[in-house]
Structure 1
Amino acid sequence: MELRQHALQVLCLTDPEQKSAAALDMQAQAATFLIATDAVIKAPEAQALPGRPERPELRHHTAVARRSPATAEGRAVLIHAIAHIEFNAINLALDAIWRFPGMPEQFYLDWLRVAAEEAKHFRLLRDHLRQHLGHDYGDFSAHQGLWSMCEKTAHDITARMALVPRTLEARGLDATPLIQHKLRSVGTSDALAAVAILDIILAEEVGHVAIGNHWYGWLCARQGLDPVAHYAELVARHEAPRPKPPLNSAARRAAGFTEAELLWLQQG
């Protein structure tokens, strides 16, 4: 089988269970795939990307429910929101695989690994919703901010690497410890179980952001671009959000951010 075409097929799946299972299966069979690195692959005309279920209802981010994690319902809303981010992250990784030709084989294998790990995260959170909180994915509204940036950067791989993994996903490195602190303060068994899941997610998301940093740096070197200056230009061009303090500087350094990049981010 050919990896990039198969990634597009999985991206088109609408059922979250099928999509997450297929992403994990692709990673398990990674060694058996051929990779058409230079092929230009076209999305099916009748298929809206990404494939998504009818629920959750998608709203503007200002209209999405927010409730205190002090209540079980509030924790369900919180875990649902994180599960939705992870589901979108599966789509983002699959999209990077099929959309961009002309990269080294390792690029496609890196994003295959990310897709599988995001699928694992989604399943952990969905199982938590079902087993501990009496809800399921789709029970609450959600927003589509991650995929919106994916669409903005569909024709520029350098912008994609800059503004999805090392901008939007890197925000999770900053936010997760704060969420964990709130859940620990609640102290219920379901809240502490969620903290443990977030430990797994945070450790692996450092690796995902590192992949984005690596390929952004690789692309800048290939084009003779200064990574910090070009990043600032891309942020302005695509109206990408600046990170909210405090930054998780240790996690960002582990993910490959340089001191110059951290300084620029902190000046925002």
Structure 2
Amino acid sequence: MTLPTHIDTVGAACAHVLMTSEPPAKLMAARAVARAWRLGRLAHRFDAAMPDVPARPAALTLLPPNQMPRRGRIGSERSRIAMIHALAHIEFVAIDLAFDLIGRFGGEFPAAFTDEWMRVGADEAMHFALLDRRLRQMGSHYGALPAHDGLWDAARETAGDALARLAIVPMVLEARALDITPATVTRFEGAGDHVTGRILRRIVDDEIRHVAAGTGWFNWATNGKGLDAPNHYQMLVKRHFRGSLKPPFNDSARRQAGLTEDFYVALAS
């Protein structure tokens, strides 16, 4: 689990993850980059352009969100596989989102920002590995079903503004996972699938830390610019997020992550 010898900067390492398409290789790349940074083998330089769109697995069919087949009730194994596949795809894209955040915007922040988001990227790789292994235990695999690239649309929309990226990806999209995943766990466990339930419980615990990372750095950056963090967040969400923030909210988990109600309640529909 080592990087090619010519990759010796954070920027080049992040681009390497993004341009690695196949799941096993992307997992290895993400883990290798996080480890290389932790061991001090990467210079804190951002000398590589991040791609507009990451490489995607050859076998994965991407459809527009409105053309995705309905999954049906979670009681059947087929529907559970479809749900796990959708979650695995979210985690696969989340690997790219974490390393794109570092490679695209890390130069605007202290090295502690890279520290934190490298850990997030490694977490996302681990989450994907757990879900893909679960799919294989159930006789399927990642890429067996179509997926959509709506998550990466958020990256495109916020490619020019670090604060917008933090507001939309960790503080809207990942915060939404805090709201809905506990109910998803209940549905899997109600169908007798306690293995997947345990995986999702692990993921939601990690997501609290990810939302906290986004919120913490958003506050750091807005404070540095003399901006009111909740007001600026609301402006950015209205400008860059295509949709609305829908209750009910998991206020307790959000509060643990530092994402207090003064950020999001005014945006609720």
For normalisation by structure 2, the TM-score amounts to: 0.91
Return structure 1 stretches of 4+ with deviation > 3 angstroms: none
Which one of the candidate residues 5, 19, 23 is aligned to 1:12? 19
For the 8 Å contact 2:209–2:257, the answer to whether it is kept is yes
Query: Residue 94 of structure 1: CA displacement?
Result: 0.6
After TM superposition, the structure 1 stretch with the greater mean CA deviation from structure 2, 61-70 or 105-114, is 61-70
Over the residues paired in the alignment, what is the CA RMSD in angstroms? Answer: 1.6
Which one of the candidate residues 3, 28, 35 is aligned to 2:10? 3
> What is the count of residue pairs matched by the alignment?
259
In the alignment, the residues of structure 1 paired with residue 240 and residue 94 of structure 2 have an alpha-carbon distance, to the nearest angstrom, of 19
Residue 179 of structure 1: aligned partner: 184
Query: Residue 230 of structure 1: CA displacement?
Result: 1.2
Letter of the 1:141 partner, please give it: P
Residue 196 of structure 1: aligned partner: 198
Residue 138 of structure 1: aligned partner: 143
Q: Deviations over 1:214-240 (max 9, x none)?
A: 111111111111111111211121134
For normalisation by structure 1, the TM-score amounts to: 0.92
User: Does structure 1 residue 49 correspond to structure 2 residue 57?
Assistant: no
Residue 61 of structure 1: aligned partner: 65
Q: Secondary structure at the match of 2:39?
A: helix
Q: Secondary structure at the match of 1:5?
A: helix
Residue 122 of structure 2: aligned partner: 116
Q: 1:105 to 1:114 in 2, by over 3 A?
A: same
Letter of the 2:41 partner, please give it: F
Which one of the candidate residues 234, 237, 243 is aligned to 1:235? 237
Which one of the candidate residues 23, 26, 36 is aligned to 2:30? 23
Structure 1: unaligned runs, 5 residues or longer: none
Q: Secondary structure at the match of 2:96?
A: helix
For the 8 Å contact 1:93–1:111, the answer to whether it is kept is yes
In the alignment, the residues of structure 1 paired with residue 208 and residue 242 of structure 2 have an alpha-carbon distance, to the nearest angstrom, of 20
Q: Secondary structure at the match of 1:32?
A: coil
Q: Secondary structure at the match of 2:108?
A: coil
In the alignment, the residues of structure 1 paired with residue 201 and residue 43 of structure 2 have an alpha-carbon distance, to the nearest angstrom, of 33
For the 8 Å contact 2:99–2:117, the answer to whether it is kept is yes
Letter of the 2:118 partner, please give it: L
In the alignment, the residues of structure 2 paired with residue 223 and residue 151 of structure 1 have an alpha-carbon distance, to the nearest angstrom, of 24
Query: Residue 262 of structure 1: CA displacement?
Result: 4.5
Q: 1:35 to 1:170 in 2, by over 3 A?
A: farther
Which one of the candidate residues 103, 106, 112 is aligned to 2:112? 106
Q: 1:35 to 1:258 in 2, by over 3 A?
A: farther
Give the % identical residues: 39
